Amino acid sequence: MCRVRVAVVPRSFRLTFALLGFVPAFAFAQITAEAASAQTAPEERTAQELERVREEPPALREFLLRMPKGADLHYHLDGAVYAETFIRAGAEDGLCVDQTAKAFTKSQPVDAGAEPQPVCEAGDVPAADVPKNQHLYDALVDSFSMRGFVPSEGVIGHDHFFATFAKFGGTDPRHTGDFLDEVATRAAAQNEQYLELMETPTWNRLNTITKDVAWREDLSALREELLAKGLAGDVPAARAFWDEAESVRRQRERCGKAAEAPACKVAARYIYQVFRNNPKQLVFAQALLGFELAAADPRVVAINFVGAEDDYISMADYAAQMRMVGFLRGLYPKVHVSLHAGELAPGLVPPEGLCCHIRLAVEDARSERIGHGVDVMYEDRPYELLKEMAAKHVLVEINLTSNDDILGISGKDHPFPLYQKFGVPVALSTDDEGVSRIDLTHEYVRAVQTYDLIYADLKQMVRNSLEYSFLAGASLWQEPDVFARVVSECRSDVPGADKPSSPCMAFLNSNQKAEQQWELERRFHVFEANH
């Protein structure tokens, strides 16, 4: 079937067919006639409301803010926290601020009576004093984010973006629960219901464990050696890290108590981040720890590789790193994998460097999802790759603002419409909403404005975000990418109904993914009934 869509067929044409309840295959690949015929009057009115507000950005924002958005699947917890929060946390931790580098520095706390005061290096100031100096406060927010960033000689957006993490780093892990509360609260306010948060609990022992371990191609033997040295001993500490953070989050949100915060309804799972710009034996050790942790703790659903993909080590070791993931996937088949791949652009690396990161992630690492995928058309045999990704149902996590900030790729230069055209499932995500000073609604606004998307496009992406989530259990839907028929247990029910039939209820209770998908359909009913 020809899968031509967004880039080729005008919006007005697609919209007319969508509203008539008839969507030709050549116009809109992923909406079937069956799904279209099931369109309800409220859904049509909602689609028309989007058309009415399309040219009024503030009204478009308000519409998309209220629209159910399912999940944000590409979300670094550290990068999601806003600079203002880090300044507050740094003050509580007694950190100092280097006024030249506009970065946190460690202090030497000394007991000065009842109130311990941080002692800072000459020229540095206590983070607690920053709010009293608005000029420094502003400069620190800019330094910790992309706010006000203008490229200058030797500093491009890519450099400033990645440098922020070291500048606001160093706060105490005890703040993680507050960070979870911040991001869940922001998600709830935008009608999101699920987050997959990338984070790395402390892994200090790995440096010691790998100190005398030499890299070797025999990954099985390398794994045995690392496990024999006690690598899995870090798993309980990582689990305790999440126990503590979740406990603080629940307290902040008063979950389970009277007048609990709306954020309590935002489910979260975690993806263990492996830092790819390290020596091979350390990358392997960290990946192994991630798989061990995910196998032991159902809250940790996957692993991902992070860090600048264009850095020297990442470019030199990329193929070896993909082999590591492929090897470990074979040993831990229940642990999911999503990988940053193709977060590259011409000029950032030599042309040859654009050859194959996405393909290696899909074929060698057998990644279920790809983060970014921006350089896909520069890879070898790109059309074959797009078809392969569609056939294998590999979702691409699309991060429009991040790609603009880091890679300078936006608008027609971005492959988003090509992924849609070839039937590769996509979902919008934020990547680092605190660093970019955005939220998920912002990304929907940007996508609608840039790619002329209609309501059916948005609904497809939102449904994708849960279909391709790593939540446990089966999907509510019979086929991936075609959200037309629910599983037989719920066949007699209206998806999202308040009172499912008993076989359907039993199915939902034993499948977390389907349960969230049911909730999403309920939210669509509520949203569309208001138009």
How far, in whole angstroms, is CA 177 from its chain's centroid? 18
3-state secondary structure of 75: strand
In angstroms, the CA 369 to CA 361 distance is 9
Q: How many of the chain's residues bind Zn ion (CB under 5 A)?
A: 1
Please say which residue, 292 or 431, places its beta carbon nearer to Zn ion: 431
User: For residue 194, what are the β-bridge partners?
Assistant: 71, 267
**Smallest gap from residue 371 Cβ to Zn ion (A):** 5
Please say which residue, 431 or 515, places its beta carbon nearer to Zn ion: 431
Q: Does 364 bind Zn ion (CB under 5 A)?
A: no
The answer to whether 61 touches 189, Cβ cutoff 8 Å, is no
Site for Zn ion in 39-98 (CB under 5 A): none
**Smallest gap from residue 181 Cβ to Zn ion (A):** 22
CA–CA–CA angle 513, 514, 515 (5° rounding):
90
How far, in whole angstroms, is CA 522 from its chain's centroid? 24
**Smallest gap from residue 374 Cβ to Zn ion (A):** 12
Please say which residue, 238 or 308, places its beta carbon nearer to Zn ion: 308
**Eight-class DSSP state of 494:** P
In angstroms, the CA 243 to CA 442 distance is 32
The answer to whether 281 touches 205, Cβ cutoff 8 Å, is no
DSSP string, 306-350: ES-TTSHHHHHHHHHHHHHHHHHHHH-TTSEEEEEE----BTTB-
Please say which residue, 15 or 198, places its beta carbon nearer to Zn ion: 198
Return the structure tokens found at 6: 């967004």
Site for Zn ion in 104-123 (CB under 5 A): none
366-to-302, 362, 371 alpha-carbon distances in Å:
13, 5, 14
- Give the burial class of 170: count Cβ atoms within 10 A of its Cβ; 0-12 exposed, 13-18 middle, 19 or more buried: middle
**Smallest gap from residue 186 Cβ to Zn ion (A):** 17
Please say which residue, 60 or 197, places its beta carbon nearer to Zn ion: 197
Residues in the chain: 531
- Give the burial class of 110: count Cβ atoms within 10 A of its Cβ; 0-12 exposed, 13-18 middle, 19 or more buried: exposed
Q: Does 310 bind Zn ion (CB under 5 A)?
A: no
Please say which residue, 401 or 420, places its beta carbon nearer to Zn ion: 401
Please say which residue, 431 or 467, places its beta carbon nearer to Zn ion: 431
**Smallest gap from residue 511 Cβ to Zn ion (A):** 28
Q: Does 225 bind Zn ion (CB under 5 A)?
A: no
Site for Zn ion in 472-501 (CB under 5 A): none
- β-strands 125-126, 300-306: how paired? unpaired
Handedness of CA 424, 428, 433, 436 (dihedral sign): positive
Site map for Zn ion, 394-433, x if CB under 5 A?
-------------------------------------x--
Please say which residue, 371 or 423, places its beta carbon nearer to Zn ion: 371
Amino acid (one-letter) located at 168: F
Please say which residue, 91 or 348, places its beta carbon nearer to Zn ion: 348
**Smallest gap from residue 76 Cβ to Zn ion (A):** 6
Which residue's Cβ has the minimum distance to Zn ion?
431
Which H or E run contains 96?
Answer: strand 96-98
Please say which residue, 431 or 439, places its beta carbon nearer to Zn ion: 431
**Smallest gap from residue 74 Cβ to Zn ion (A):** 6
The answer to whether 193 touches 68, Cβ cutoff 8 Å, is yes
**Eight-class DSSP state of 230:** T
Please say which residue, 303 or 456, places its beta carbon nearer to Zn ion: 303
In angstroms, the CA 486 to CA 478 distance is 5
**Smallest gap from residue 54 Cβ to Zn ion (A):** 29
Q: Does 519 bind Zn ion (CB under 5 A)?
A: no
User: For residue 340, what are the β-bridge partners?
Assistant: 371
**Smallest gap from residue 158 Cβ to Zn ion (A):** 13
Q: Where are the alpha helices (DSSP H) in 105-203?
A: 134-143, 157-168, 176-189
**Smallest gap from residue 343 Cβ to Zn ion (A):** 7
Q: Does 443 bind Zn ion (CB under 5 A)?
A: no
**Smallest gap from residue 431 Cβ to Zn ion (A):** 5
Chain positions contacting Zn ion, by CB under 5 A: 431
